Structure 1
Amino acid sequence: MLDFAIFAVTFVIILVGAVLYLYPSSRRASGVPGLNPTDEKDGNLQDIVNRGSLHEFLLGLHEEYGAVASFWFGRRPVVSLGSLQQLRQHINPNHSTDSFETMLKSLLGYRSGTGATESVMRKKVYENAIDNTLKHNFPLVLKLVDELVSKWSCVPAEQHTPLCAHLLGLALKTVTETTDAFIIEHKQIHIWSEIGKGYLDGSLEKSSSRKVQYEKALSEMEGLLTSVVTERRAQRRHTAFVDILLQSNMTEPQVMEDCMVFTLAGCVITANLCIWALRFLSASEEVQDKLYQEIQEVLGSEPITLEKVPQLRYCQQVLHETVRTAMLTPVAARLQEVEGKVDQHVIPKETLVIYALGVFMQDPDTWSSPYRFNPDRFEEESARKTFSLLGFSGSRTCPELRFAYTIASVLLCSVIRRLRLGTIEGQAMEVRSELVSTPKDETWLTVSSRK
């Protein structure tokens, strides 16, 4: 499970690092209060390392300098926003950009398009492909989930169930089989572990051998995806993710790139959401029982359908609270496309602006008892609107997260209908401060029949 830990924990820092290194940036000081660079070349990089993670660094930064604060990554100024009011000011004028896709494609060296219009059109094709893939392959999702839950149902009461290993496997299967890539699982993890280790110790830039290893792993996966694209074009099918992309005007290299983004991003988001949702449920029989009651009322004895998923409101609240409490996305980032302003602070063009979502998710002024897992808080419309504003729900949700929510909803329905989850005595549940929260090494659960 060490590869999985590296794969999950370093995912967002890789993306943020990609923008910082690969995008042009204004060299002008922003005038926003914050830290001076402690090193002329590295800026405040050592300060981030000393705090243990970017999230912990941002907690301290905003505590000292307020909701709008700045620091330096290398020779480049970065502005961080750490409260809802300031996030709202910046998100609204920049709603057309997709920070997640921008960072991931920058890392991989891909471009969304040659112009703004082409980028928007390509993004729509990508989002529609994910949505249509779910519609065409929903029976496959049900089958994969049922296979896992049936396996858990046969586990003896005295045997413990490895949550991370099983749910990473489920995420990989649902993403790769609906893509029709059938990618060998370790290849994806190998790519991210190589990048992750390189960014954490700097060896990706400093070591030619490490860079060769990463480029080899990436090239192998791109070659595999390219062969899938070529084969599927000849077959003229219309059910998998790659098929739907091929029906557009995109070139085969562009189709390969979007398949790469979906398989990598879809796997990590789906795995982490499912892992933490079941982990939190295992610690609360009350939440399990409330979710079971909703499933009985909405579905009865019928299987879940794609149309029924939005009707499971409490299930959605459980997933919202999982994202919030576990800080599955503690940091996002946008490139300031034009000169902007937050409060009285001017943000120069091409400055990287970080959304310190982890700081905001722990803000007691916004969330009562912020460290407590409480799905009931999302019964309030204000909480749902806040989540929608940040892109965690509603029409602005990133397509990979919408995909993950659907898979997680199916999983929760199947598990709660048939099983009771329990924690193991002596195994603490730790929501750590890394950029992508994940149970350390492995988390074990107990499962027992509900009837």
Structure 2
Amino acid sequence: MKKYNYPEKLSIVNFFLDIEGIRKNPIPFHKKYFEKLGDTFSVKIGRTKHLILSRDNEVAQYILQKNHKNYYKSNLQTVYLSKYLGKGLLTSDGDFWLKQRRLIQPAFHKQKMNELVVNMEQIIVSELNNLAEEETVDLFPVMSQLAFNVVAKSLFHLSIAEEKLHRMKFIIEEVQNFLIKEIRLPHKSWWFFLSGQVKKHFQLSLENNNIIQGIIDRRVISKEKSNDLLQFLMDTRYEDTGEGMSVTQLIDEIKILFIAGHETTANALTFTLYLLAKHPDIQQKVWQEISEIESQTNDTVEQLQKMTYINAVLNESMRLYPPAWIIDRQNVVDDTIASYHVKKQTLIGVSFYELHRNPKYWKDPEKFNPERFLGEQKKYSMQYFYPFGGGPRMCIGTGFAIYEMCLTVFKIVKKYKIKPVSGEALFNPLVTLKPVGVEVLFTKR
């Protein structure tokens, strides 16, 4: 008989008493449990199954870096998500994942990102032209539209009609909202099936595939080369066979880039602008950096390389409000993690939201202080910072997202003063940390 030992246990009774609240917003409950039970705790489900939740950096590093080969994505990601998103980087594991990652990585090389910058900048500027001035703006829908168009037009430079874009955005949001319902209300799965909701969302997913397929087909037929991500992805070749990706695979990867690439960025931008509105002194420093940079160069790539303070502001905003706020893994074989001996197939969650606010690693964790990500302090902070995950599976689009967010903050603060309207920033922790009713006011500088 193997002896397993698990972290401090949360009583299943307490867990079930809280379950309705947890379903609506797990974060306050996680906080309460961590404060009571320590940085890692477990819940026993059934006779032998355990679930572990942690905000301990040692646990995070172990499952994401040191022993990542033993930690696969959980069924939540591989089964639920892949049903609608297909088998792309986000939803696959093992050898297939590695093969895809190696294939796609070069498309996100810094050199390639630099080629996309001019196009990206134009899209951002045109999106911001319609910003409402001197009136209350609900930030998330505006940032969501901006981020969606940046991804869409960076992927398919000019080859997509506006109504198709709107349709894709609608489908992605519909499918995602339904997915959350499926994950959070497993006891209603029979009803979702019988009432035709599963079928309806699967059809929407197929419609999305067809739109993307149409764009790819037109690109192949026209033989035009375009400076966009689609072209980079179509041009990549597997090392062993020298062949490109199949069209099905290409569609799956593009869908993942859409989903992973627009909402997370929109979340991060929303919270960043909200924090800048709340801290006019920090906003002023951003503005000073912008003036300084513009006096030195008007080359966008060079400007991006000089945005040290803007970068620190974004990092500190993603520390407080990490877009991908939680990650989960399952161990393939029995393992010892920190001092716990855990059985294979244990579901382990790491809350980046809590790790980023853990007083063990952060001084004044609730305070917005971009200085944490400057100079010497930056080296320290980076050890406990996971805005894009960590280890070999770290988000492939990190460079793309940082460029897009830096440029957006640059363009907004250059033109506007941002003033606060709403009180606390509210959010809904879905697959990502989604802002709710976060409002500001833009006034011309």
Report the TM-score range of the alignment, normalised by the length of the smaller protein.
0.7 to 0.9
In 2 relative to 1, CA 138–253 (structure 1 residues): closer, same or farther, beyond 3 Å? same
The answer for the alignment partner of 1:411 in structure 2 is 408
Instruction: Measure how far apart 1:73 and its partner are.
Output: 6.3
How far apart in 2 are the matches of 1:135 and 1:268? 22
Moved more, 172-181 or 92-101: 92-101
SS of the counterpart of 2:344? coil
Q: In 1, are the aligned partners of 2:304 and 2:406 still within 8 Å (CA)?
A: yes
Instruction: Measure how far apart 1:391 and its partner are.
Output: 4.6
Match of 2:192 among 195, 200, 207: 207
Q: Does residue 357 of structure 1 match 2:330?
A: no
Q: Does residue 422 of structure 1 match 2:401?
A: no
Instruction: Measure how far apart 1:31 and its partner are.
Output: 3.3
The answer for the alignment partner of 1:241 in structure 2 is 229
Q: In 2, are the aligned partners of 1:339 and 1:348 still within 8 Å (CA)?
A: yes
The code of the aligned residue for 1:143 comes to Q
The answer for the alignment partner of 1:80 in structure 2 is 53
In 2 relative to 1, CA 293–397 (structure 1 residues): closer, same or farther, beyond 3 Å? farther
Moved more, 107-116 or 247-256: 107-116
SS of the counterpart of 2:127? helix
Instruction: Measure how far apart 1:297 and its partner are.
Output: 2.5
The answer for the alignment partner of 1:151 in structure 2 is 130
Instruction: Measure how far apart 1:434 and its partner are.
Output: 2.8
Match of 1:257 among 241, 252, 261: 252
Moved more, 302-311 or 327-336: 302-311
How far apart in 2 are the matches of 1:134 and 1:349? 40
The answer for the alignment partner of 1:167 in structure 2 is 143
How far apart in 2 are the matches of 1:50 and 1:115? 32
Cα distance per residue 1:249-294 (max 9 Å; x no partner): 2111111110010011111111111111111111111111111222
The answer for the alignment partner of 2:311 in structure 1 is 316
SS of the counterpart of 1:438? strand
Moved more, 111-120 or 130-139: 111-120
Cα distance per residue 1:221-262 (max 9 Å; x no partner): 122222223332333424222222222321111111100100
How far apart in 2 are the matches of 1:430 and 1:118? 40
In 2 relative to 1, CA 375–120 (structure 1 residues): closer, same or farther, beyond 3 Å? same
How far apart in 1 are the matches of 2:38 and 2:443? 48
Q: In 2, are the aligned partners of 1:55 and 1:433 still within 8 Å (CA)?
A: no
SS of the counterpart of 1:151? coil
CA RMSD of the aligned region, Å? 3.2
In 2 relative to 1, CA 235–299 (structure 1 residues): closer, same or farther, beyond 3 Å? same
Moved more, 54-63 or 103-112: 103-112
How far apart in 1 are the matches of 2:312 and 2:392? 17
The answer for the alignment partner of 1:186 in structure 2 is 170
How far apart in 2 are the matches of 1:45 and 1:389? 30
The answer for the alignment partner of 2:214 in structure 1 is 227
Q: In 2, are the aligned partners of 1:230 and 1:252 still within 8 Å (CA)?
A: no
- As a proportion of its length, which structure holds more strand? 2
The TM-score normalised by the length of structure 2 is 0.82
Q: In 1, are the aligned partners of 2:332 and 2:344 still within 8 Å (CA)?
A: yes
The answer for the alignment partner of 1:437 in structure 2 is 433
SS of the counterpart of 1:145? helix
How far apart in 2 are the matches of 1:97 and 1:231? 42
SS of the counterpart of 1:341? strand
How far apart in 2 are the matches of 1:445 and 1:161? 5
Q: In 1, are the aligned partners of 2:417 and 2:443 still within 8 Å (CA)?
A: yes
Q: Runs of 5+ in structure 1 lacking a partner? A: 1-27
Cα distance per residue 1:314-338 (max 9 Å; x no partner): 1111111111112433211122234
Q: In 1, are the aligned partners of 2:133 and 2:444 still within 8 Å (CA)?
A: no
Cα distance per residue 1:26-63 (max 9 Å; x no partner): xx976333135459xxxx56644334433333323323
How far apart in 2 are the matches of 1:175 and 1:254? 18
Moved more, 275-284 or 344-353: 344-353
Instruction: Measure how far apart 1:207 and its partner are.
Output: 2.0
How far apart in 2 are the matches of 1:330 and 1:243? 32
The answer for the alignment partner of 2:118 in structure 1 is 139
Figure out how many residues of one structure are paired with residues of the other and give that number.
Answer: 413
Q: In 1, are the aligned partners of 2:329 and 2:347 still within 8 Å (CA)?
A: yes
Instruction: Measure how far apart 1:151 and its partner are.
Output: 2.9
The TM-score normalised by the length of structure 1 is 0.81
Moved more, 164-173 or 44-53: 44-53
